[in-house]
Amino acid sequence: MKIAILGAGISGTTLARLLAGDGHRVVVLEKSDRAGGLCKSQLVDGFTFDEAGGHIMFSKQRPVLDWMIERAGGADAVVRTERNTRIRWHDRWVPYPFENGVGALTKDAIVDCLEGYIEAHVQRRLGTACPENFHDWIDWRMGSGFARHFMVPYNEKIWSCDLRTMSSGWVAGRVPEAPMRDVLASAVGLASEGYTHQSVFWFPRRGGFEALVTGTVQGGGFELRVGTPVEHVRRTGEGFTVNGEDFDLVVNTVPLPLVEPALADLPEPVRADIRELRPISLVNVLIGVALDEPLPDLSWVYLPFPEQGPANRVTYFSNYAPDNAPEGHGSFMAEVTHRGDVSPTKEWVDDLVQNLGRAGLLRPEQVVLTHTAQSEFAYIDQNLAFADRIARVRDWFDTSGMITFGRFGRYEYHNSDQCIARAQEVHRHITEIARSGEPARPQFT
Ligand SMILES: Cc1cc2nc3c(=O)[nH]c(=O)nc-3n(C[C@H](O)[C@H](O)[C@H](O)COP(=O)(O)OP(=O)(O)OC[C@H]3O[C@@H](n4cnc5c(N)ncnc54)[C@H](O)[C@@H]3O)c2cc1C
């Protein structure tokens, strides 16, 4: 078959490689000057910079993790790190996840958290229903103490909204849920580890996270057309035309609101739904520092409080791979999420750095470089209307013969390992179409 894939992020390039391996003729159309999407990295005055914030390689599925490591150049080309993350909680460094670090809080806060956790546990046992909005879900699952001392301020910062306007439907598997015993153990000072599938991670030794996509493209056997935005896609009898060229099949991985104007066959109600799929955007700030001693052995730090400045998370990026910063230097990346209302002027960046200084993460006088990158599509706005809206959109695609997947191609809150797993599912589906000659509705797990 001759197959067009729209978008050359990790989703599009992985699928292209798999299909080309079967002998299909695969053309990937990418608007940008190179493949990578949200996995892109840059080199800025000797500092590596992952444009869309701190990315790490990890997966619950070992074969997917093996695929990622292989694409990034194999075991010798990646650095393995044991996760060491903290929450900057006022003047304390609290281990993450918060429920596993509760013992590091003040005694009053520990009592607040335990009382609320036990009360929430009892309420759930009594059958209190799972709330639909995220704010009430936090209370229901974790109790009022955890809500007040971390979960609400942190989530208000990252999602930039009143959490009552957000659905609770997306949290399963995303927000760590510690067993009661772990929380009690932590409260009395016993160590407990949470979110264990991510307790070890890998990162490319050179080239930043983009090395994963570079290794997917290299030797992939498909045609990558960069600087080629998708402008027009139309169904034609048995196949499709894309920008005037005939294909047997089209697979989209471009964020739906960006590809919507090009899709000639979209019914008006589906178009209207797609236009309402607004993203949460990201400004990522690279901060290079001159070092007189190594950075603390940390992976990243969460900053839940407004007085710590706009960043919700700071990655200790030169700890991921020594080549991420030049000799004698280190680097941080500070992530700021927003809804289209942040512009990273010099004053804004200087202020962010001063805030990180006050929070005790760095010494501003050591900063030798700052650099910013913006990602319009970073997180999904999980508002209360989202689930119904995206279900209608997915339904249209799944019955139209045009497959769509990817973080914003299907609006699934997926990391790159899950995008790869999805690409493998789509590959199996297309293999079945090629074998039977019958277009079928894709079955996503
Ligand atoms: C802050 C943050 C932290 C993350 N951390 C991690 C992590 O630690 N580990 C991890 O595995 N994942 C992480 N992720 C998720 C990961 O970045 C994504 O899951 C993955 O990169 C999505 O890939 P994709 O190919 O689906 O989409 P994208 O990367 O968005 O690719 C879409 C492509 O479409 C192209 N495009 C847009 N418009 C057009 C057009 N009109 N025509 C043609 N092409 C077009 C874009 O240029 C882009 O290349 C993180 C994401 C964010 C935002």
Q: Which two tokens stand for residue 122?
A: 């009892």
Neighbours of 40 (CB within 10 A): 21
pLDDT at position 270 is 98
**Residue recorded with tokens 């080199």:** 43
β pairing state of 245-247 and 92-95: unpaired
**Does residue 279 line the site of ligand 1, with CB under 6 A?**
no
CA 327 to ligand 1 centroid distance, Å: 30
**Does residue 5 line the site of ligand 1, with CB under 6 A?**
no
Burial of residue 75, with CB atoms counted within 10 A of its CB: 0-12 exposed, 13-18 middle, 19 or more buried: exposed
**Does residue 357 line the site of ligand 1, with CB under 6 A?**
no
Q: 223 with 26: CB under 8 angstroms?
A: yes
Q: Which two tokens stand for residue 282?
A: 């990201």
**Does residue 230 line the site of ligand 1, with CB under 6 A?**
yes
Residues 376, 29: Cα–Cα separation, whole Å = 20
CA 9 to ligand 1 centroid distance, Å: 6
**Does residue 15 line the site of ligand 1, with CB under 6 A?**
no
CA 130 to ligand 1 centroid distance, Å: 31
Distance of CA 232 to the CA centre of its chain: 29
68 CA closest ligand 1 atom index? 11
Grouping H, G, I as helix, E, B as strand and the rest as coil, residue 8 is coil
Residue nearest to atom 35 of ligand 1 (CA): 7
Which CATH superfamily includes the segment(s) 2-35+210-278+383-436? FAD/NAD(P)-binding domain (3.50.50.60)
Q: Tell me the β-bridge partners of 157.
A: none
- 129 secondary structure, DSSP code: P
**Does residue 38 line the site of ligand 1, with CB under 6 A?**
yes
Q: 293 with 334: CB under 8 angstroms?
A: no
Counting ligand 1 atoms within 8 A of each CB, the residue from 254, 316, 335 with the most, and so the one to mutate, is 254
pLDDT at position 174 is 73
**Does residue 283 line the site of ligand 1, with CB under 6 A?**
no
Residue nearest to atom 42 of ligand 1 (CA): 229
Neighbours of 278 (CB within 10 A): 14
Residues 334, 370: Cα–Cα separation, whole Å = 10
Ordered by start, the domain boundaries in the chain are: 2-35+210-278+383-436, 102-192
**Does residue 151 line the site of ligand 1, with CB under 6 A?**
no
Residues of the chain scoring pLDDT < 50: none
Residues 143, 124: Cα–Cα separation, whole Å = 11
CA 127 to ligand 1 centroid distance, Å: 40
Q: One-letter amino acid identity for 290? A: A
**Does residue 39 line the site of ligand 1, with CB under 6 A?**
yes
Residue nearest to atom 15 of ligand 1 (CA): 415
β pairing state of 25-29 and 249-252: unpaired
Residues 34, 363: Cα–Cα separation, whole Å = 35
Angle at CA 61, nearest 5°, toward 84 and 396? 115
Q: Which two tokens stand for residue 172?
A: 């399963």
CA 244 to ligand 1 centroid distance, Å: 26
Neighbours of 363 (CB within 10 A): 13
The answer for residues whose C-beta is within 8 angstroms of residue 329's C-beta and 6 or more apart is 46, 47, 288, 289, 290, 291, 318, 368
Residue nearest to atom 53 of ligand 1 (CA): 378
Q: One-letter amino acid identity for 26? A: V
Residues 405, 11: Cα–Cα separation, whole Å = 8
CA 107 to ligand 1 centroid distance, Å: 42
**Does residue 12 line the site of ligand 1, with CB under 6 A?**
yes
Neighbours of 280 (CB within 10 A): 20
**Does residue 325 line the site of ligand 1, with CB under 6 A?**
no
Q: 285 with 342: CB under 8 angstroms?
A: no
Residues 11, 18: Cα–Cα separation, whole Å = 11
Strand residues in 329-366 grouped as ranges (E)? 329-338
Predicted structure pTM score: 0.96
Burial of residue 186, with CB atoms counted within 10 A of its CB: 0-12 exposed, 13-18 middle, 19 or more buried: buried
Q: 280 with 271: CB under 8 angstroms?
A: no
CA 434 to ligand 1 centroid distance, Å: 28
